Structure 1
Amino acid sequence: MSNTTVWSSILRNCVPLSAVSPAKQTHAQIIVNGLLHNVTLQTDLLLVYSKCGILQDARNVFDKMFKRNMHSWNIMIASYVQNSLFYDALSVFRWFLKVGNRPDHYTLPPVFKACTGRGEFSLGVMLHSWVIRLGFENYVVVGSSVLDFYLKCRHLDDAKRVFVNMLWRDTVVWNLMISGFGRAGFHVDALNFFRDMLGDGVEVDAMTIPSILNVCVGEGDLMRGKEIHGQVVKSSLFDGDVVIGNSLIDMYAKCGCLCFSEKVFLNMSQLNLVTWTTMISCYGLHGRGEESLVLFKEMRDRGFVPNSVTLTAILASCSHSGLIEQGRKIFNSIGLLYGFEPTVEHYACMVDLLGRFGYLEEAFELVKNMKLVPTGSIWGALLAGCIVHKNVVIGEIAAHHLFELEPRNPSNYIALCSIYDSLGMWDGISRTRAKMRELGLVKTSGCSWINVSGKVHKFYQGDLSPPLSQMIYETLDGIVMIMMSTED
């Protein structure tokens, strides 16, 4: 057995063990024995350093390679993508093209991901044309990458065309369509894809269920959510799946059935930090902050350490329930107990809590003394408090910060108008509405929905298009008249 084969075998055994120290020792021996010019050994070194996350060492090996094979290019590009270094990945890919190489079906998936991460839509479209030209469109992994690229770039029509032209659609492909359309707000389309998936006899997996449950939340479709829960119970494949359990807890709470969320939570065989955080958030969503605090304590007693998201959930629960002192105590203890500074989300929750209950000066001081730059969510929380308590001075300051951060968001202008209206400041209303007209902004119609006999009905403010709208409004007027006469 040659020295090259021995060193190569050692390096490849280091990969699954993430054995950095033996890999570096082997690297040194390769240099001492004058074998560093060997392409196989260089590629093995590149692989082990990349898999161990030592990208600088990997890049040093890559840059010194006299001859790079296809495998070495693919390793370097994929490693950068796996570490979300999309700019570096695309730089290596452009170098790859410049020296006359042609991508293969291993090169393209990570490059599509890098295009998504960097917002390089035109490059992604060019790559798609190469996929077709090189005959890779029927490779499921490549086709899935193209599909994922279009979905995440919100080019849904292009995604549909790719999907329709795919000869083979596995569970991953269907999951991409469901989650992609659901994420974009096209919940009905996502539900239709799910029905078609079942109709085609494709097996759902543990990724399908959370995606479609999230769609049910967006559509307010409790009945469909219950049906999917039934499928989960019937299928032994998902017994004890904590991700599905978490999704069920979230779905029931957001569809108004907190008691079902509690039942799912209590019947779960294993709980992770996400489970506790989700249940805490659900109690907060329903204004049951005391239960959130009890659960938060129980979670810590069982040895779970809250992360940033958990702390956001408990602070939001305090805000929805008016638990001011408890919220202050938790917020002030973040750095002391958990070892990190409060995030923007934590500040936004605290400002919301103080603002809701009239502590606007304290909330404003908190914003002014932040170590972080206040975001739209923070100024928005402060503005919301000013609407409730008719504070035009702080409200104008918050609104004008929002105008700079979110100049195309009509809600901020409407919110400021609400304060002016409550105080009879008609000049302020005129100025704000004139600014909206100048920017071409219009108020977004409010929407609500109701589930009747398993069908979801949506209602938009001022929309008279539904066939029964006249009867609905006449009935509503009749109810109002009865209520008024009862008061008299």
Structure 2
Amino acid sequence: MTSKFSSILRNCNPRTVFTHAKQTHVQILIHGLNHDITLQTDLLLAYSKGLLLNARKVFDRMRERNMHSWNIIISAYVQNSMYHDGLNVFIELLDSGMKPDHYSLPPLLKACAGTNDGVGSLGVVLHGMVVKLGFESYVVVASSVLDYYSKCGKLKDAKMVFEGLLWKDTVSWNSMALGLAKAGMHFEALDCFRNMLENRSAKMDSMTIPTLLNVCGKLGDVIKGKEIHGQVLKNAFFCNDIVIGNSLIDFYSRSGCLCDAEKVFFGMKDKNLVTWTTMISSYGVHGKGEEALTLFQKMKDLGFKPNSVTLTAILASCSHSGLIDQGRKIFKSIRSLYDFEPSVEHYACVVDLLSRFGCFDEALRLINGMNMVPPASVWGALLAGSLVHRNIKVGEMAAYRLFKLEPNNASNYVALCSIYDYRGMWRDASKVKSKMRMLGLGKTPGCSWILIGGEMCTFYQGDFNLDFGTNTTENIKGVVRALHLVLSEKNTFHLNKEETNRATQ
């Protein structure tokens, strides 16, 4: 009887846990087997796949808890992003006199990273436990330590752990590259991937490609991104991966290749809510508000319910395209249709939309009616609209709020200066500039970049000291001709050395 119940529970999956697990639990109680530690552990495992509250009740009622039961409940909490609950169970584990094993530590390290344990207090303690308990040689445990340091931005520690790994698998390489990418070290991240591909013990997988595409998108390296897309098309497994498809849409959108993003989107067999949201956001960024609204409606017609991120994407699309009536309607429907409160991002989008149209009274009423303290993003949207319409009164109000919230953000001072300059209020502008000098703030110049001959060339506003040879004037003209050649090619931002030489002659 015990083995039969155990077999049913162990074969439960998320779809059958609601029926099979509950029915088996009833039979266990009827037969008086509710204190059998094996059945209790199996029941705990089954409930952890979909009924976490039931799992916790079983765990709390267990007279005896083996290490397996502790690991199950910790892992269940972490898998459901309930990081604090998982860490609290770990504290209970230590209080009981037991020590974590090599199965406990990976989810605990993930929980530390998920709680933004940037200072590394608990994460470093866990790393110490790994060393003390002799788990450094376990690949999964060592990779979890590396992943923790990478996600917390502690790259120095991450590199030390990475270099000390006896065996570097794909997960380890991905963690190191992801940490570099998150820190803005994009070229170093690409070098890491190149080294990974040269390492025979690791291969590109479905976790590698999204990170690579994200790096290429931030660098504007369309050619490299298309090469990765080519590798995806050669692999049937990658072609059907939704996460990779979503990453391709985002990459092409970031790179200005909206047509390619559309091709990927409409060519995907399976789409999830993230897919629809990414494409809606892509339309919005490129000023295609009507297309974004059409896609939003089609998504709802197919049974997808928008979440907070989706609504932010469609509201931002309305703002970028000046669709004020549609934006108002969607914002008002957040409570009535989707049954949750508007977030800070939703308010910021609508304030931006109203401010762009000069509807400052309506924007201020919306801000004053917020059920939270208006953050910098909301006042920033109001200041941006004030700059467009040169509205001194509203601009000053928004700017002085921002000076308190973001005292070291130079762009807020610059925006207010621009309003004063346009209105001829030189004395007020001078006071703001003096305050900037006193705070040691400077305006960050506008920056653009382009790949020429495989090298990244950066251009700053007002910078004419471009080191492309001896004759500065001629070389600037050559660069301009090269830029014209690049822009004349649709969706191309790369020139090889031969084309560059020809363009600059």
TM-score normalized by the length of structure 1? 0.86
Question: Residue 178 of structure 1 corresponds to which residue in structure 2?
Answer: 177
Work out which of the residue numbers 80, 84, 104 in structure 2 matches 1:83: 80
CA separation in 2, counterparts of 1:25 and 1:263?
Answer: 48
Summarize deviations over 1:376-420 as a string: whole Å, max 9, x none. 222111111111111122122222333343344333233333323
Question: Residue 164 of structure 1 corresponds to which residue in structure 2?
Answer: 163
Larger displacement relative to structure 2 (346-355 or 234-243): 234-243
Larger displacement relative to structure 2 (380-389 or 333-342): 333-342
Question: Residue 52 of structure 2 corresponds to which residue in structure 1?
Answer: 54
CA separation in 1, counterparts of 2:432 and 2:469?
Answer: 32
Give the SS at the match of 2:240.
coil
Alignment of 1:55-70 (within 5 A): 55=53, 57-70=54-67
- Tell me, yes or no, if the aligned pair for 1:220 and 1:456 is still in contact at 8 Å: no
Q: Structure 1 residue 188: deviation in Å?
A: 0.9
Larger displacement relative to structure 2 (98-107 or 291-300): 291-300
Q: For 2:72, give the aligned amino acid.
A: I
CA separation in 2, counterparts of 1:272 and 1:14?
Answer: 25
CA separation in 2, counterparts of 1:45 and 1:444?
Answer: 59
Larger displacement relative to structure 2 (377-386 or 418-427): 418-427
Alignment of 1:212-223 (within 5 A): 212-223=212-223
Question: Residue 485 of structure 1 corresponds to which residue in structure 2?
Answer: none
CA separation in 1, counterparts of 2:433 and 2:174?
Answer: 44
Larger displacement relative to structure 2 (104-113 or 271-280): 271-280
Larger displacement relative to structure 2 (89-98 or 180-189): 89-98
Question: Residue 71 of structure 1 corresponds to which residue in structure 2?
Answer: 68
Q: Does 1:133 align with 2:146?
A: no
- Tell me, yes or no, if the aligned pair for 2:466 and 2:476 is still in contact at 8 Å: no
- Aligned-pair identity (%): 60
CA separation in 1, counterparts of 2:212 and 2:478?
Answer: 39
CA separation in 2, counterparts of 1:282 and 1:167?
Answer: 42
Q: Structure 1 residue 105: deviation in Å?
A: 0.7
Distance change >3 Å, CA 406–CA 12, structure 1 → 2? same
Q: Structure 1 residue 173: deviation in Å?
A: 2.0
Summarize deviations over 1:249-294 as a string: whole Å, max 9, x none. 2212211222322333343344443333322322222223233334
Question: Residue 375 of structure 2 corresponds to which residue in structure 1?
Answer: 375
Q: Structure 1 residue 311: deviation in Å?
A: 2.8
TM-score normalized by the length of structure 2? 0.83
- Tell me, yes or no, if the aligned pair for 1:18 and 1:48 is still in contact at 8 Å: no
- Tell me, yes or no, if the aligned pair for 2:18 and 2:51 is still in contact at 8 Å: no
Distance change >3 Å, CA 58–CA 162, structure 1 → 2? same
Q: Structure 1 residue 142: deviation in Å?
A: 1.0
CA separation in 1, counterparts of 2:479 and 2:73?
Answer: 68
Question: Residue 153 of structure 1 corresponds to which residue in structure 2?
Answer: 152
Q: For 2:319, give the aligned amino acid.
A: S
Distance change >3 Å, CA 278–CA 7, structure 1 → 2? closer
C-alpha RMSD over aligned residues: 3.2
CA separation in 2, counterparts of 1:469 and 1:353?
Answer: 46
Summarize deviations over 1:46-73 as a string: whole Å, max 9, x none. 3333333333x44444344443221122
Q: Structure 1 residue 231: deviation in Å?
A: 1.6
CA separation in 2, counterparts of 1:35 and 1:134?
Answer: 36
Give the SS at the match of 2:172.
helix
- Tell me, yes or no, if the aligned pair for 1:386 and 1:395 is still in contact at 8 Å: yes
Distance change >3 Å, CA 32–CA 439, structure 1 → 2? farther
How many residues are paired up?
Answer: 477
CA separation in 1, counterparts of 2:470 and 2:446?
Answer: 18
Give the SS at the match of 1:51.
coil
- Tell me, which stretches of 5 or more residues in structure 1 are unaligned? 481-488
Summarize deviations over 1:128-164 as a string: whole Å, max 9, x none. 1222233322322112211111011111121112112
Question: Residue 455 of structure 1 corresponds to which residue in structure 2?
Answer: 455
Alignment of 1:35-434 (within 5 A): 35-55=33-53, 57-120=54-117, 121-201=120-200, 202-433=202-433
Summarize deviations over 1:81-126 as a string: whole Å, max 9, x none. 2233322322222332244322211010111112222344122112
CA separation in 2, counterparts of 1:349 and 1:474?
Answer: 45
Larger displacement relative to structure 2 (370-379 or 387-396): 370-379
- Tell me, yes or no, if the aligned pair for 1:18 and 1:52 is still in contact at 8 Å: no
Q: For 2:113, give the aligned amino acid.
A: T
Q: For 1:345, give the aligned amino acid.
A: E
Larger displacement relative to structure 2 (219-228 or 4-13): 4-13
Q: Structure 1 residue 208: deviation in Å?
A: 1.6
Distance change >3 Å, CA 174–CA 471, structure 1 → 2? farther
Larger displacement relative to structure 2 (205-214 or 356-365): 356-365
Q: Structure 1 residue 445: deviation in Å?
A: 4.2
Distance change >3 Å, CA 469–CA 36, structure 1 → 2? farther
Question: Residue 486 of structure 1 corresponds to which residue in structure 2?
Answer: none
Q: For 1:211, give the aligned amino acid.
A: T
Q: Structure 1 residue 461: deviation in Å?
A: 4.8
